[in-house]
């Protein structure tokens, strides 16, 4: 199907009308005392409308926002990831790389067969799709509300296991999109599984 584009006039080809319209919008907001509805709650105590002081002040992201994927620790400060590599296999841009520990791997907690020797996420390739979070059987990786991903080199934006665990922090699963499901903070999955197994009737 052929679409005929509207021919621009000589005045429109100079882009001057578009520039003037942009200045008009900017000046209208600059001289207006009406607060922005986007971050008005953050500035409700201010006497006058001011510019958001980034990065000290940040936007309030909506419920269910998919930010950067980080690793979480459990409430005993142990690594929750068991190196099953499901997130690595399901990642569309191949941004995740996991190195299993091998036969002599160190296990930090009960119920885990192996812990990852290395866990890296290339934040330059990550598309924040959330597949890694959905497929993780241990609930060890979550897309948190961090959107300020910066660095001075490509190497800085390849986050290793230690940095991912530091940014993810302890088990904080009571986010907006999980609180509605009644998930409490600090749930120990394997303690619950072991208790449920012990409560089942034993057959002789």
The verdict on residue 41 lying in a domain is no
User: 178 falls in which pLDDT band (50, 70, 90)?
Assistant: low
How far apart CA 62 and CA 98 sit, in angstroms, is 31
The verdict on residue 110 lying in a domain is yes
The rounded radius of gyration (Å) of the Cα atoms in the chain is 24
User: 105 falls in which pLDDT band (50, 70, 90)?
Assistant: low
- At 141 the pLDDT is 92
- pTM for the model: 0.67
How far apart CA 91 and CA 89 sit, in angstroms, is 6
Report how many domains make up the chain.
1
**Residue of 21, 4, 3, 2 lying closest to 12 (CA atoms):** 21
- Domain with 126 in it: 69-179
The verdict on residue 42 lying in a domain is no
pLDDT tens track for 21-37: 999 988 887 776 666 66
The verdict on residue 196 lying in a domain is no
73: CATH = 3.30.70.3270
Q: What is the mean pLDDT of the chain?
A: 80
């Amino acid at each position: 199907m052929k679409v005929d584009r509207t021919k621009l006039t000589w005045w429109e080809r100079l882009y001057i009308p578009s520039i003037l319209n942009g200045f008009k919008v900017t000046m209208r907001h600059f001289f207006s005392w009406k607060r922005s509805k986007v971050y008005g709650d953050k500035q409700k105590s201010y006497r006058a409308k001011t510019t958001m002081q980034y990065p000290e002040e940040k936007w309030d992201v909506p419920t269910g926002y998919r930010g950067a994927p980080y690793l979480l620790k459990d409430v005993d400060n142990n690594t929750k990831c068991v190196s099953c590599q499901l997130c690595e296999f399901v990642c569309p841009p191949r941004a995740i790389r996991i190195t299993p520990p091998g036969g002599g791997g160190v296990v930090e907690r009960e119920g885990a067969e192996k812990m990852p020797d290395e866990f890296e996420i290339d934040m330059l390739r990550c598309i924040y799709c959330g597949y890694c979070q959905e497929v993780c059987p241990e609930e060890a990786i979550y897309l948190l509300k961090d959107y300020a991903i910066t660095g001075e080199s490509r190497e800085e934006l390849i986050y290793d296991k230690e940095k991912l665990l530091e940014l993810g922090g302890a088990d904080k699963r009571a986010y907006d999109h999980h609180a509605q499901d009644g998930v409490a903070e600090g749930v120990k999955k394997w303690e619950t599984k072991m208790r449920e197994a012990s409560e089942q009737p034993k057959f002789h």
